[in-house]
A and B are shown apart, each in its own frame.
Chain A
Amino acid sequence: MSGASASLLPLAVAAPICGAIAAPLLGRLWTRLTIAVSMLALVVSCALLALLAPQVYDGEVLVEHVGNWHPVDGSQLGVTFAADPFGLTFALLAAAIGAILLLLTISELGDLGGKEMGGYACLFQLLVAALVASALTADVLDLFVWFEVAALASYGLTGFFLERPLALEAAFKTMVLTNMAAFFVFVAVAVVYAGHGALNYGQVYAAMAEAPRTADLVALGLVVGGFGTKAGLVPFHGWLADAHTAAPGPVSALFSGLMVNLGLLGIARFVFDVQAPNRGDVLGLLAVVGGFSALVGAAMALAQDDLKRLLAYDTVSQMGVLMVALSVGSPESLTGMTYHMVNHALFKTLLFVCAGAIVHATGMTRLSEMGGLARHRPLVTVAFVVGAAAIAGVPPLNGYVSLGLIHHALEGDHPVELFVLTLAQALTVAALARATYLAFFRRRDDDYDRIERLGAGMLVAFGLLAGACVAFGALPTLVLDHVVRPAAGSLVHGAEYARATLADGGRVTPAEATFDYADPRQALVIGGTLLLGLLLARWVVRHSEPSLLTAVRRAHTGSVNDYASYAVMGVVVSVAVLVLT
């Protein structure tokens, strides 16, 4: 039984929504008050979720049927909220990192007027609320609604600097692609409902197990396209780099650390929890899509001159890595995937916060203009190096653990995937090493015209995020046993979670996985990719761009029509593959 604590679940979403309503009104009175109230809303949301955490990570699924509409005879008419370990992990990350980023906003955008700050805080909290809610909901239509809320908020945040043409361009591309993605998800939900008369996860699961239909596979193909766009998977990724380049610093961090994970969450929920009885060969499809994303993203990152754009393409690559890990579907790979999702949220947020701090301090965005920042900004340098080393998997940082789990799960049965991931990892190391060298350690002869001080909010954000990167890497057994293994259990034992959402609660068994810090093969792989990556970075800095990379770059034409064509082609192929195999 869930009892009273489950009834707190909708409040965790309601708090930031209330904050979002209050923010623009308060902004007209007093700017500082806007920030204070918004911070309070996010902290309340985070605290409510943390209050439930001990119960949920113990394996319990807390279920709240909103409006007291309880299921009758195995069918549920109302919306259900369910806190399972996987969803709660995502929701907690969203609320906590959201609060940190809002704090950072004060240092970075503190000179905004009251009206602008009100609008910014409103959209920011709406996005966080949508992320929390989509992690907690157990209703496919509700998931679509929160997807749409997140999308609308992200349009506003991408185009926040309305006076900058680049922001408008990025916002328009994001709108067109995300709008198409929302349409795909919407039709998928309708097709699922028309076929099974069910929207609740557990009810759809049961109906599909009983009477699988071909139309379900069409829906799943559309889901891969729709949520794949949000996750920035190739070929749906056209909007991602542009949106990150043009958005304000904390917003890029929010997009990359958290919002793209919404796509991952959607795909994971559909593949393992909702459509598990009738999913065709979606895992094979995701392996291909993920492998391409990992390689294309890392290669594009290697060729970028804009620091934030480089990090954005690295996000594409990391989402590909996560998708490959997801596609294996074994307990160990899903544990690795969940661990890496948490880690990616931490280190990518940290890197974007560093990038934002550099842009704020120097007013420069291009790597070719920067240089020698290690001397001027030692603290940012340390934070950036920690983030980059975490992605590269340097022990004792968190990337070592999650990559180790993923690589170990791929050994044996999945040699091709392992090769692709290792290659992508080497390219990622090269891209980040090149960025670190160019921005921080290259000699720069003339001094910077203007270099601003770091705000207190930035220092707090650096400390918390870098500290989390170290903690999640240094204490793998603790994190695995208490957070990640239960969380991966929601995916591995999707049937248990699905059953719980149609009842008044239930339990989910943790996934089985262990991590051996001293595994020599893992050390060898990480060492090898590091060495290869550093050599590659050295080569790229000294020579001109290889022609293969130029060809990949040329495919990113910047035209919204082309990006839309890639996405439509991707969806058509996804649906065709699922239906025909």
Chain B
Amino acid sequence: MILVNYAAAALVFCLGVYTVLTRRNLVKIVMGLSLMESAGYVLLISMAYRKGSTAPVLLHPPSGTTEQELAHGNVADPVLQNIALTAVVIGVAVTAVLLAGVVRVAQHYRSLDSDDVRELRG
């Protein structure tokens, strides 16, 4: 357990949610979503942590450890790190799509205020 990391993830997540819920500027909403995603990455990397472990690279182990020790599990969890990497890639794609949407909205509505962009309601 590395509490500071978990606390940081929670804090960044709350900031992101706060931004999405209270900011009316569409770009800020996208930023809020990105903050939420970043909180996810921090959470995943923290969950992959194991006390006294090294990076999950089996070649050329750091001094004082053998390859056998690494293969028997004293490494950070590579699957969670992989999931985090996947999430980074997805996050970039989704942010790009979101921002493209914002650009289009700005061109048509001449506004970035979410209160001006609510013809569909009820």
Per-residue 0/1 for A150-187: is the Cβ within 8 Å of any B Cβ (1 yes, 0 no)?
01100110010010011011111101100110110011
User: Chain A contacts of B79 at CB under 8 A?
Assistant: 193, 199
| Residue in B37, B83, B93, B97 whose beta carbon sits within 8 Å of that of A193 in the complex | B83
Name the distance in Å between A78's Cβ and chain B's nearest Cβ: 12
Name the distance in Å between B42's Cβ and chain A's nearest Cβ: 11
Cα–Cα distance between A558 and B121 once the two chains are bound (Å): 4
Q: Is the CB of A179 within 8 A of B119?
A: no
Indicate if B44 sits at the interface (CB-CB under 8 A). Answer: yes
Cα–Cα distance between A172 and B24 once the two chains are bound (Å): 13
Q: Is the CB of B43 within 8 A of A175?
A: no
Interface SS of chain B: helix
Q: Is the CB of A172 within 8 A of B120?
A: no
Q: Is the CB of A189 within 8 A of B118?
A: no
Interface size class of B (residues with CB under 8 A): 35 or more
Q: Is the CB of B26 within 8 A of A558?
A: no
Interface SS of chain A: helix
Name the distance in Å between B37's Cβ and chain A's nearest Cβ: 6
User: Chain A contacts of B90 at CB under 8 A?
Assistant: 148, 182
User: Chain A contacts of B68 at CB under 8 A?
Assistant: none
Indicate if A216 sits at the interface (CB-CB under 8 A). Answer: no
From A50-58, A384-392, A425-433, A559-567, give the one contacting chain B.
A559-567
Name the distance in Å between A556's Cβ and chain B's nearest Cβ: 5
Whether A564 touches B20, Cβ cut-off 8 Å, given contacts A152-B93, A169-B120, A175-B101, is: yes
Whether A559 touches B105, Cβ cut-off 8 Å, given contacts A179-B98, A183-B37, A190-B47, is: no
Q: Is the CB of A558 within 8 A of B119?
A: yes
User: Chain A contacts of B37 at CB under 8 A?
Assistant: 183
Per-residue 0/1 for B90-120: is the Cβ within 8 Å of any A Cβ (1 yes, 0 no)?
1001100110011011001100001101111
B38-79 contacts to A (CB < 8 Å): 40, 43-44, 47-48, 77, 79
Indicate if A246 sits at the interface (CB-CB under 8 A). Answer: yes
Indicate if B17 sits at the interface (CB-CB under 8 A). Answer: yes
Cα–Cα distance between A303 and B98 once the two chains are bound (Å): 31
Indicate if A130 sits at the interface (CB-CB under 8 A). Answer: no
List the A residue with the shortest CB-CB distance to B93.
A152
Q: Is the CB of A194 within 8 A of B119?
A: no
Q: Is the CB of A245 within 8 A of B120?
A: yes
User: Chain B contacts of A152 at CB under 8 A?
Assistant: 93-94, 97
Cα–Cα distance between A194 and B43 once the two chains are bound (Å): 10
List the B residue with the shortest CB-CB distance to A187.
B40
Indicate if B15 sits at the interface (CB-CB under 8 A). Answer: no
Name the distance in Å between B79's Cβ and chain A's nearest Cβ: 7
User: Chain A contacts of B101 at CB under 8 A?
Assistant: 155, 159, 168, 171-172, 175
| Residue in A156, A187, A199, A242 whose beta carbon sits within 8 Å of that of B120 in the complex | A242
Name the distance in Å between A300's Cβ and chain B's nearest Cβ: 8
Name the distance in Å between A55's Cβ and chain B's nearest Cβ: 33
Cα–Cα distance between A75 and B26 once the two chains are bound (Å): 45
| Residue in A183, A556, A561 whose beta carbon sits within 8 Å of that of B22 in the complex | A561
Name the distance in Å between A57's Cβ and chain B's nearest Cβ: 34
List the A residue with the shortest CB-CB distance to B114.
A560
Q: Is the CB of B104 within 8 A of A162?
A: yes
| Residue in A156, A182, A194, A558 whose beta carbon sits within 8 Å of that of B47 in the complex | A194
Indicate if A557 sits at the interface (CB-CB under 8 A). Answer: yes
Name the distance in Å between A126's Cβ and chain B's nearest Cβ: 13
Name the distance in Å between B110's Cβ and chain A's nearest Cβ: 11
Indicate if A122 sits at the interface (CB-CB under 8 A). Answer: no
User: Chain A contacts of B104 at CB under 8 A?
Assistant: 159, 162, 168
Name the distance in Å between B122's Cβ and chain A's nearest Cβ: 4
Q: Is the CB of B115 within 8 A of A559?
A: yes
| Residue in B20, B87, B119 whose beta carbon sits within 8 Å of that of A166 in the complex | B119
Q: Is the CB of B122 within 8 A of A556?
A: yes
Indicate if B36 sits at the interface (CB-CB under 8 A). Answer: yes
User: Chain A contacts of B20 at CB under 8 A?
Assistant: 176, 180, 561, 564, 568
Q: Which of B17, B77, B120 has the most CB of A within 10 A?
A: B120
Q: Is the CB of B24 within 8 A of A190?
A: no
Q: Is the CB of A561 within 8 A of B122?
A: no
Indicate if A553 sits at the interface (CB-CB under 8 A). Answer: yes
Indicate if B12 sits at the interface (CB-CB under 8 A). Answer: no
Q: Is the CB of B114 within 8 A of A561?
A: yes
| Residue in A148, A156, A172, A180 whose beta carbon sits within 8 Å of that of B36 in the complex | A180
Name the distance in Å between A140's Cβ and chain B's nearest Cβ: 11
Q: List 7 A-B contacts (CB under 8 A).
A: A155-B97, A165-B119, A168-B101, A176-B33, A180-B20, A183-B36, A183-B40
Closest 7 interchain pairs by CB?
A558-B121, A558-B118, A194-B47, A553-B122, A242-B120, A165-B108, A565-B21
**14 extra A-B contacts, CB within 8 A, seeds A156-B97, A556-B121, A560-B117:** A152-B93, A152-B97, A165-B108, A169-B117, A169-B119, A175-B98, A186-B40, A190-B80, A194-B48, A553-B122, A556-B122, A559-B115, A560-B29, A561-B20
